[in-house]
Amino acid sequence: MQKKIILTGYGTVAKELIKLIIHNEALIKEKYGFDLLVTGIVGSKGMIYEEKGIKLSSLIDFGTGSEALSRYSEYFKLPFTEPIFQGDVLIECTPTNIETGEPALGYIQKSMENGMDIVSVSKGALVKSFDKIKTQAAKHGSRLKYSGATAAALPTLDIGEYSLAGCTITRIEGILNGTSNFILASMSENNLSLEEALKIAQEKGIAEANPALDVQGFDTACKILLLANGFFGSSLLIDDVKIKGIEQVTKEDIQEAKQNGRTLKLLASAYKEAENVIVEVKPCELESEHPLAHVNGTNKGVVFETIEMGAVCAIGGASHPRGAAAAALKDVINLYRETT
């Protein structure tokens, strides 16, 4: 059985995904019973499309981004076309835009109109239009997975959907951004200021040149919002999330917490209060026995509190493009191994 993939966006995550598809081709065929065929990739200049499949090993050699697609197009005499959303699954990897959700939202909607399943790594469309996407998916019989948008390699959605199936989730807490966690851990371990720790994170390639989304808590807020809407059935928007980042945290704050036997972390939480769902992100001092208190470096963690199973915690998950790509591949496998 063959599953045809349309890929939107060809940045670092998408390129890592292509590498994983190449590397795991035999494993996927043997263990899950199907082949993956990437027939189209959409970039800023248009789409390269080959019905018999893009030559992935060649594409890898051309770099990343639209320039790589241009080189591929020129080398194989393959003209760019308007995007054609025909296939089994769309894997959405364009840069996150939490203001409009575009271009991801349009790509997702067009794909669902053609009955395609959706795997989204990009958060913007889901944060902006979660209800609309879910409604359209139900209308067209499309299935939606977005592990890569909710802490990448940390299996937050999988735990809630599968491991806690049939349970009543009462609260979700998480350290969902590896960059901010690395900064806070560095401040604590080395008695650094935020600026000093951020500079180290940037030198190591952990933090972006513009780290605002990470440091100000917006990336964390997007992730906990998606988990809250997914598991509590809410229809909240990013403006409904109370967000306080780490930009005002001082090394004195960190040391004071340490002296009191606590650890300062950027904590995301979602819980029900009467008929309302409360979602917030803020720096919190965690007691040493809290399961997330010892999540250090770029690691992430999540705790689900349930009535039936108590608290369930997962820690880890690589905070780099390969981890996000692996989450997307996992979603594709889980979509189709359920029907094979």
Per annotation, catalytic residue among 15, 223, 265, 330: 223
Structure tokens given for 33: 């019973």
Task: Tell me which H or E stretch contains 207.
Answer: none
Identify the bridge partners of residue 208 per DSSP, sorted by sequence position. Answer: none
Between the CA of residue 68 and those of 43, 58, 180, 248, 293, what are the distances in Å? 10, 10, 31, 40, 42
- Cis before 103 (ω within 30): yes
- SS3 (DSSP) at 315: strand
Active site residue 223: yes
> Which residues are within 8 A (CB) of 37 and not within 5 positions of it... i.e. 6 or more apart?
2, 3, 4, 5, 53
Q: How many CB atoms lie within 10 A of CB 263?
A: 22
What is the token pair recorded at 83? 């995007």
Q: How far apart are CA 175 and CA 267, in angstroms?
A: 5
The SS3 assignment for 48 reads strand
Q: Are 34 and 3 in contact (CB under 8 A)?
A: yes
How far apart are alpha carbons 161 and 41 in whole angstroms?
30
Q: Is 208 annotated as a binding residue?
A: yes
| Direct distance between the N- and C-terminal alpha carbons of the chain, in angstroms, rounded to an integer | 9
Residue 25 Cα distances to 21, 29, 56, 107, angstroms = 6, 6, 12, 26
- In 3D space, the residue among 145, 140, 164 whose CA is nearest the CA of residue 232 turns out to be 164
Phi, psi (deg, nearest 5) at residue 292: -100, 0
| 92 annotated as ligand-binding | no
Catalogue the active-site residues. 223
Annotation: binding site for NADPH? 123
Residue ranges of the binding site: 123, 208
Point out the annotated binding site for L-homoserine. 208
